[in-house]
Amino acid sequence: MGHTLMSFVIVIGILVFIHELGHFLAARACGVGVKVFSLGFGPKILKKIVGSTEYCISAIPLGGYVKMVGEEPGAVLAPEDKPLSFSHKSLPQKSLIVAAGPLCNFFLAILIFYVLYQFSGLYLISPKVGKVLENTPAASAEIQPGDVIRSVNGIEVKSFDELPPLVNESKGRELKVIIDRGGEKLAINIRPVLSQSKNIFGETIEKYVIGIVGTRESYHVALNPVQAFSHSLKSTWELIELTILSVVKMVSGSVSAKNLGGPIMIAQMAGEQAKAGIMDFAWFIALLSVNLGIINLFPIPVLDGGHLLFFAIEGIMRRPVNEKLREKLAQAGVVVLMTLMIFVFYNDIVRMFSQ
């Protein structure tokens, strides 16, 4: 229990710090005064004033905040504070300050992946055939276990994971496959067939297959700094796409909202990943960092995305959104977030007692 709690605190602490640091650094770069930089909400446990900013750690470790000078529209300010006021900055500057939090979460994921790829490289699944399924195109083409797939239609295959997309892209057209059988190169023509399977969301999908299963043998590939950076960008982008797709599917109802998890689930997973090793724990932090960045960009008032939406409307209409309307929408946003929090806590509790 103590290990799980400590892992949770470390994960949340890193994610919140990076997110709020983004807001803080962007505010300072734009000449906005920062009154408070807090990790956590509620009563302040530790605090220290440096310059004009109070840095503190608060009791509830489920978030954080940066309180800026003139953050609230219509706030009464002393004349000397106006140059430091958030509300008195240009629309691009305010948008940058708000967007900097989620952007820093994405940057953290890129940084983590870069370090992992730079020091551990890639572990690719060998494109070796482990099993040929009966009554499939691969069986008809006399592909054998132990054959190594070298290319498909002239495209080099370095990993077994590269095969399914290449086969599916054929749309049933004949493929020219080069295999290595005991050191001898053979060219085989094979026509994929349509088959049903389950995707990662449990949905039934149709895709083209040839009927082979890999051995799951892996081999190591070292990466130079440029390759590591390229792979870190790719991995972060894939996580962003997957997270957005998951949200869309939950909203559409094709994936159950029961899969949503809250603090309890995060704590359990953090503990499990920490026990698995530093690399798994770092990957988990990158995953959550991307999730946090995307969630904060949702166009819900009180979230960063809600503020950006108001700024976009202001840019189009050439005037700020009515203050009373903003207050009402902000209240509605709080209700939505509280409802969501209650729901994920409920999911966590049900999941915990059903294990």
The two three-digit tokens of residue 207, written as one number? 């895709």
Of 71, 164, 109, the residue nearest 292 (C-alpha): 109
What distance in Å separates the CA atoms of residue 257 and residue 254, rounded to the nearest whole number? Answer: 9
Whether 20 is a known active-site residue: answer yes
The two three-digit tokens of residue 119, written as one number? 């020091």
What distance in Å separates the CA atoms of residue 235 and residue 100, rounded to the nearest whole number? Answer: 21
Element (H, E) at 63: strand 53-68
How buried is 225 (Cβ within 10 angstroms: 0-12 exposed, 13-18 middle, 19+ buried)? exposed
Asked if pLDDT for residue 255 goes beyond 80, the answer is no
What's the average model confidence in pLDDT over 175-197? Answer: 89
Residue 35 is which amino acid? Answer: K
Q: pLDDT for 341-352, tens place per residue?
A: 666 665 656 655
The residue from 20, 71, 169, 314 that is catalytic is 20
Higher pLDDT pick, 53 / 346 = 53
Q: Would the pTM count as exceeding 0.95?
A: no
Q: pLDDT for 8-44, tens place per residue?
A: 778 888 898 999 999 999 999 999 999 999 988 888 8
Asked if pLDDT for residue 123 goes beyond 70, the answer is yes
How buried is 132 (Cβ within 10 angstroms: 0-12 exposed, 13-18 middle, 19+ buried)? buried
State the alpha helices, DSSP H only, in the chain: 2-29, 91-120, 137-140, 163-168, 225-252, 263-276, 278-296, 304-317, 323-354
What distance in Å separates the CA atoms of residue 45 and residue 254, rounded to the nearest whole number? Answer: 44
Element (H, E) at 128: none
Residue-averaged pLDDT of the chain: 84
Asked if pLDDT for residue 353 goes beyond 70, the answer is no
Q: pLDDT for 61-113, tens place per residue?
A: 778 889 998 877 666 777 777 888 888 888 999 999 999 999 999 999 999 99
What's the average model confidence in pLDDT over 136-155? Answer: 90
